Amino acid sequence: MTTRLTLLLAVLVALCWPSVARAADTDPVGGWPLRPEPAVVAGFDPPDSPWGSGHRGVDLLGTAGQVVRAALPGRVSFAGVLAGRGVVVVDHGDTRTTYEPVDATVSLGDPVAAGDPIGRLALGGSHCLPRACLHWGWIEGADTYLDPLRLVGAGPVRLLPLWRDEPVSRVVPMPYVAWRSPLQLFLLRWSPP
Ligand SMILES: [Zn+2]
């Protein structure tokens, strides 16, 4: 049993550690893809499974035609139309950022610096119709979705480890505190002769 618990803890630590370490030490510092700093109209809600529902990025309010900029330096790894909407993907090595819907002004393989224009915000395919907004994603490896707001220091404060989520104090409701068993009632009423 102890061995299994130790193993479970090791797995949990292994699962949690990379994201905690990245949040603490190695988040690259990027810039907002829209300027001035946009309103975040939908936050990051990663799916529980690769096929699960969720929101794999954040939505930044903008105006149609607004210039969209690379959040980090990198190289354009996709610029084109996917499922009817314009998409730009910039590769940063171990991660990549995605921007949609965007009419690209860059081409596959173009190097970009942080803040460089990569296209213009489109309306078709907006997650905020009838408003225009940029769906901004940040992906690590094959398909690990990260919160892109961490790139601009606007992400959630570092998450507490799971085992610290337990309530500090627990108030246990005791609705039956006044209830007494028949034996208790008998003993209460009974007086020795
Ligand atoms: Zn979105």
| Per-residue pLDDT, 24 | 42
Q: How far is the CA of 125 from the centre of ligand 1 (A)?
A: 10
Q: How far is the CA of 51 from the centre of ligand 1 (A)?
A: 16
pLDDT one-digit tens code per residue, 103-134: 999 999 999 999 999 999 999 999 999 999 99
Q: Is 29 helix (H, G, I), strand (E, B) or coil?
A: coil
Q: How far is the CA of 165 from the centre of ligand 1 (A)?
A: 29
> How many C-beta neighbours within 10 Å does residue 179 have?
9
What is the fold, at CATH topology level, of the domain defined by 31-150?
Answer: Glucose Permease (Domain IIA) (2.70.70)
Consecutive 10-residue runs of the chain (193 residues): their mean pLDDT? 54 45 66 96 88 92 97 98 96 97 98 98 93 97 92 66 39 44 56 53
Q: How far is the CA of 23 from the centre of ligand 1 (A)?
A: 22
Per the prediction, the chain carries an average pLDDT of 79
Q: How far is the CA of 138 from the centre of ligand 1 (A)?
A: 12
Distance (Å, whole) CA 33 – CA 89: 12
Residue 89 near residue 96, CB atoms below 8 Å: yes
Q: How far is the CA of 121 from the centre of ligand 1 (A)?
A: 13
Q: How far is the CA of 68 from the centre of ligand 1 (A)?
A: 15
| Per-residue pLDDT, 17 | 44
Q: How far is the CA of 98 from the centre of ligand 1 (A)?
A: 11
* Ramachandran area for residue 14 (φ above 0: left; ψ -120 to 50: alpha; else beta): alpha
Domain boundaries, the chain: 31-150
